Structure 1
Amino acid sequence: MTPAAPGFPYDRLRRRPDVEAPNLFAADAADRLLAEIAGDAVLQPGLVVIGDAYGALTLAAAARGARDIRVHQDALTGERALDANAAELGLVGAFEHRPLDEALVRGARTVLLRLPRSLDALAEIATLIAEHARADVVVHAGGMLKHMTTAMNGVLGEVFGSVEASLARQKARVLTAREPHPAAATVLDRWPERSRDAETGLWVCAHGAAFAGTSIDIGTRFLLGVLDQAVPDARAAIDLGCGTGVIASALAASRPGVQVIATDQSAAAVASAAATATANGVSERVTVVRDDGLSSQPDASAELVVLNPPFHIGGAVHTGIAHRLFADAGRVLVPGGELWTVWNSHLGYRAALERAVGPTRQIARNSKFTVTASRKPV
């Protein structure tokens, strides 16, 4: 087997503008194994890379000589990290960012895929490839063993005639899928999915990679129970890290005078939130934006920000993203505006919220979650 990108400097890759820390890395053994198994196939026309966290797959292929690489990354920070790493390594122009749609995979011969955690996300990607890539497409799908399950083989097996697993190496493995079945993929193509939540009466729409799918996660549901108390006269609100857009649609549906911005860095979340707003008849008052936090929003522009922050970065428990989002909210709130946050009580975010925004009071608490309101000083 031909070594992949001999001497490729994986250790020079960085995660910026995503959170950087000693236990967080821009490349791992799965990236290396995928590149090795794909070998010279990356040099053929029609290379597609999906789920490349910070550019390791794309740039290793580019360093071998691959060009016109079509790349889809769900996270906006991943796109920006890839661009920055490409500039650092002199590989700008070898790839193009694409949305997850038919054009991404049309005519693809080789697909390098970092396996997503969600089986629904994998199913959405697999059906897209099977429907629109070449009949001789080869999909190399890799991940770290701790995040892989045999169910992933089954998902690929629904739309590919052949699925083979590599030997494990450095706790990583690659599944190689061939012989796509376009007819089967057409039957299984169902995204975005849609479901009506009985408790709230809201329609929830979700693409495969959207957190919680068409259900409402328990933290968001707890926050929704007190949302009517959150700055009732607000006319400009933001659903920060909106996911499927449930909070944004709930605000717009219950407050005819409010304009809501729903923002998330995930392409799947943004597409889901837009579909959720349309399904609930509030799309005229919900603007959905793909953004790294609130980087595109001006200072002192919102009276209310609502947030259910993540506390994982990939597979690692890390609160760095939450602290960045608190700071963003503090900047974007008008004086006297409030950040309403639901968080796992054991994380003890209150001191951080007071530093980033202002005086913080507890609104509600149960056995797992706390809802607080942080007021920006006038």
Structure 2
Amino acid sequence: MPEFAFSRLRRSPDVEAPNLQAWDATDELLVRQALAAGVPGAEIAVIGDEYGAITLALADAGCCGVRVHQDLATGRRALERNAAALELSGFASHELDASLLKGARLVLLQLPKSLAELEEVADAVARWAAPDVVLVAGGRVKHMTLAQNEVLGRSFARVQPQHAERKSRLIVASGALAVPAQPPYPQRAEHPEFGLTLVAHGGAFAANRIDIGTRVLLEVLAGEAGSAAQLRRSARLEPESRRDHAELQNSSGVMPDESQVVIDLGCGTGALAAYYALHHPEARVTATDRSASAVASARETMIANGVADRVTVTHDDAGSDLPDGAADLILLNPPFHLGASVHTGAATRLFAASARLLRPGGALLTVFNSSLAYRPELSRLIGPTEQLHRTSKFTVTRSIRR
């Protein structure tokens, strides 16, 4: 059988760049291990297959019925596009649950960046897969640590690192241990300084903490909430005409709550969306993220804060399923990593998405590391941009859609 054409794979709709590719040596090692094991496709589960390299190579080799879980919406769409381009099928996508793992005797895993995510995955495999399941986890040697072996050892009796090849290494875990009655995730934490409860699955950025960038943006929102409340009190004292209503909108930079459409773009665990919904009860808030782990976390966060009936949470790529020109306000704490690579392309995609989603005159509030100097790009893609707040590390800006 000819070797699979990994070079034909593409990352789209994720960022494409000369220094970024849709597969690595770890994918190839995992495929080779699976084919050598001779396990039927229907008994194989693949987790963390970024752009479909593992799943499609197995399909190309005749493995039918492979189940796959990808955290990112961009990865799921890339798998669909690559499968269509290569005319391959015979696999099914699942969430990280029993439907993915029931009866699986071989699980292939691209090691996640966080130990928490690895712990949640290892527990899920031990909890739901076949009793004799073998978990083969792989990663680039430079990103691997002994702590990963320790985490796997909590769910498996035998954890055996293999020899490195082409700067990648596999770890074979077997002998699934008894699992606790309740899974280790999601986990929750109280943040009384903002009146928030955050709930997080293992793969969610910053776990159940408030990361420093989100914290700075929340502080700005807290200040603006007071200003908006004052505006609402004034509005109740003296009814306005439509013209007065527009002047009120322009002076505050946001619409009054009863007609305000707000998007938390790249919502993570949903801190910004939950806080905004708590302080603007009539606003229509949507929280969206490309990570399934983040979306599951955000839904739990909305329930924990009593705003689940007022916040819609969606799994999406840069708000691509949301209508153009409908948002009055977008809240954004953009990432500056793509996988293990430092790359500003992810933020640029979200800035461009904001320009599409905002109505003319709508506002984008974003926070970013000051060293990244995004302000000129925000002005170019969206419109006039002003600095609202700056700390030693982070800057918060407001951009008005032209």
- Range class of TM-score, shorter chain: over 0.9
Residue 312 (1) aligns with residue 337 (2): yes
Match for 1:83 among 80, 90, 104?
Answer: 80
Supply the distance in 2 between the matched residues of 1:132 and 1:225 (Cα, whole angstroms).
42
- Within a 5 Å distance, the mapping from 1:215-364 to structure 2 comes to 215-228=209-222, 229=224, 231=254, 233-234=256-257, 235-364=260-389
Flag the 1:34–1:357 CA change in 2: closer, same or farther, 3 A. same
Instruction: Give, in whole Å, the separation in 2 of the partners of 1:222 and 1:264.
Output: 20
Q: Tell me, yes or no, if the aligned pair for 2:22 and 2:53 is still in contact at 8 Å.
A: yes
Percent identity, aligned pairs only, is 52
2:100 is the alignment partner of 1:100: no
Within a 5 Å distance, the mapping from 1:155-234 to structure 2 comes to 155-181=151-177, 183=178, 185-187=179-181, 189-228=183-222, 229=224, 231=254, 233-234=256-257
More displaced, 192-201 or 242-251?
A: 192-201
In 2, are the aligned partners of 1:8 and 1:63 still within 8 Å (CA)? yes
Q: Is the 8 A contact 1:223 1:371 kept in 2?
A: yes
Range with greater deviation from structure 2 (142-151 or 35-44): 35-44
Q: Within 1, Cα distance between the matches of 2:24 and 2:36? A: 20
Q: Cα deviation per residue 1:72-125 (whole Å; 9 max; x = unaligned)?
A: 000011011111111111212x11110111111011011110010111101111
Q: What is the distance in 2 between the residues matched to 1:41 and 1:253? A: 53
**Counterpart mapping for 1:40-55 below 5 A:** 40-41=36-37, 43-44=39-40, 45-55=42-52
* Equivalent residue, structure 2, for 1:119: 115
Of 48-57 and 228-237, more deviation after overlay is shown by 228-237
Deviation (angstroms), 1:187: 4.9
AA in 1 matched with 2:217: L
Deviation (angstroms), 1:190: 2.2
Match of residue 27 from structure 1: 23
SS of 1:226's partner is helix
Q: Which amino acid aligns with 2:43?
A: G
Q: How many Å separate the matches in 1 of 2:255 and 2:216?
A: 18
Q: State the partner residue of 1:366.
A: 391
Structure 1 residue matching 2:366: 3-state secondary structure: strand
Out of 67, 80, 94, which is 2:64 matched to? 67
Q: Is the 8 A contact 2:255 2:328 kept in 1?
A: no
Are 1:144 and 2:128 an aligned pair? no
Structure 1 residue 38: Cα displacement: 2.3
1:81 maps to amino acid: A
Q: What does residue 13 of structure 1 align with?
A: 9
Structure-1 separation of matches of 2:49 and 2:151: 20
Letter in 2 for 1:126: A
Letter in 2 for 1:287: T
Q: Which runs of 5+ in 2 are unaligned?
A: 225-252
Structure 1: gaps (5+ residues):
none
- SS at 1:292 equivalent: coil
Distance 1:112 1:89 in 2: 22
Q: 1:290 and 1:233 mapped to 2: Cα distance?
A: 27
- Cα distance in structure 2, aligned partners of 1:232 and 1:91: 49
The alpha-carbon deviation at position 40 of structure 1 amounts to: 3.5
Read off the aligned partner of 1:79 and give its amino acid letter. R
Query: Following the alignment from structure 1 to structure 2, what is the Cα–Cα distance between the partners of residues 42 and 224?
Result: 52
Indicate if the aligned counterparts of 2:114 and 2:203 stay in contact, CA closer than 8 A: yes
Whole-angstrom CA distance in 1 between matches of 2:256 and 2:220 = 15
The CA deviation at 1:32 is: 1.1
TM superposition score normalised by structure 1: 0.95
Which has the larger Rg?
2
1:207 maps to amino acid = H
Shift of residue 41 of structure 1?
2.9
Shift of 1:355: 1.1
Tell me which residue corresponds to 1:37. Answer: 33
- 1:42, CA displacement in angstroms? 5.5
Output the TM-score relative to the length of structure 2.
Answer: 0.90
Alignment partners' CA distance in 2, 1:73 and 1:166:
25
SS at match of 1:186: coil
The superposition leaves residues 263-309 of structure 1 with CA deviations (integer Å, 9 ceiling, x where unpaired) of 00100000000000000001111100111101111111110000000
Q: Distance in 1 between matches of 2:254 and 2:276?
A: 11
- Whether the 8 Å contact between 2:39 and 2:106 is mirrored in structure 1 is no
Q: Distance in 2 between matches of 1:296 and 1:197?
A: 31
**One-letter code aligned to 1:322:** A
Moved more, 221-230 or 33-42: 33-42
